[in-house]
Structure 1
Amino acid sequence: MIEKPRKTSAPRPTTTRPSAGPAVPRMWRWLAATILVLGLAAVFRYLVVEPRSMGFACSETPTPWWCGPREWVIMLHLNNVWGAVALASGILALFFRQNWALPVALVTGLAGMVLYDTGLSAIGFLFALLRMLRS
């Protein structure tokens, strides 16, 4: 049998929109993590670091068990550790595309901004946000 040639039309360009499926839940996870970090840092700042009664309680002997972690966080702030870690991990995330550095930059950047280490923390957090936009 002889087959008749089929009429073929030129392929039509398809206009499909990229699906927003996986990006939407990922956005909500990042938003939830952001709110959690901000909430924990704010609670720690306003209930543990700032009150004078906490400072007075830590100057007594014997000191309560929570004075050690409180002093560590205050020393991290005084030595700009939050900002340095946020900036270093933000640079690693943005320029060297290290995936593990992105959440580190976000968490330490947010915590540093809430716990008085705003300069470097904000830059590291901004680098992490730019990295999120690039991916």
Structure 2
Amino acid sequence: MKSTRWRLAWPWVLLLAVALGTTWLRYGLIEPHAIGQQCDAVRAPSWCSGRQWLILGFLYHVYGVAALLAAVLALLSQHPWLAWLAAALGVFAFELYGFEIGAVALLIGCLRLLRLQARAAPVEPHRQRQQ
């Protein structure tokens, strides 16, 4: 029983980890003005190219489009990992300035994951109260 609960909770814990990691990327790497100035310098650190790719990704809505594609695939398949991927990409897009598209993909991914988990979970009969 405990392993079943943990198995069902594991994707949600990982989704929370994705949200926290994306929050760190946004507020720790992308938004700080000092980091932007450091990357604009003539001798910019090597990690600035990764930061630039992240910025280009949200400027061209790459994360939102990827999240929506994963959401469509999750709706068409019975694989919980695709639903989780849609939710994770939705969180990523939502946090990185793709609010509308990310929110839709996050909602679809979460609802699909819940539906697939409900189908896979063992059903316990309800106990009637003795009066």
Aligned match of 2:58 in 66, 72, 77?
77
**Aligned pairs (5 A) from 1:111-130:** 111-130=92-111
Any idea what SS the aligned residue of 1:108 has?
helix
- Opposite residue 32 of structure 1, the aligned amino acid is V
3-state SS, counterpart of residue 63 of structure 1: coil
Q: Count how many residue pairs are aligned between Structure 1 and Structure 2.
A: 116
- What is the deviation of 1:26? 2.4
Instruction: Kindly indicate whether the alpha-carbon contact (under 8 Å) linking 1:92 and 1:98 is maintained by their aligned counterparts in 2.
Output: no
Name the structure where helix makes up a greater proportion of residues: 2
3-state SS of 2:84 partner? helix
The ranges of structure 1 where at least 4 consecutive aligned residues each deviate by more than 6 angstroms after the TM superposition are: none
For structure 1, list consecutive stretches of 5 or more residues without a partner in the other structure. 1-19
2:74 aligned with 1:97: no
Q: Which has the larger radius of gyration?
A: 1
| Shift of residue 83, structure 1, vs aligned partner | 0.8
Which residue number in structure 2 is paired with residue 41 of structure 1?
22
Unmatched 5+ stretches in structure 2: 117-131
2:28 paired with 1:29: no
What amino acid does structure 2 have at the position aligned with 1:33? Answer: L
Secondary structure in 2 matching 1:82: helix
Aligned match of 1:11: none
Q: Using the TM superposition, give the Cα deviation of residue 66 of structure 1 relative to its aligned residue in structure 2, in angstroms.
A: 1.2
Distance 2:78 2:106 in 1: 15
TM-score (norm 2): 0.79
- Residues 81 and 59 from structure 1, CA distance in 2 versus in 1: closer, same or farther, beyond 3 angstroms? same
Partners of 2:3 and 2:65 in 1: CA distance: 32
User: Taking structure 1 as reference, are residues 24 and 98 closer, same or farther at Cα in structure 2, changes over 3 Å only?
Assistant: closer
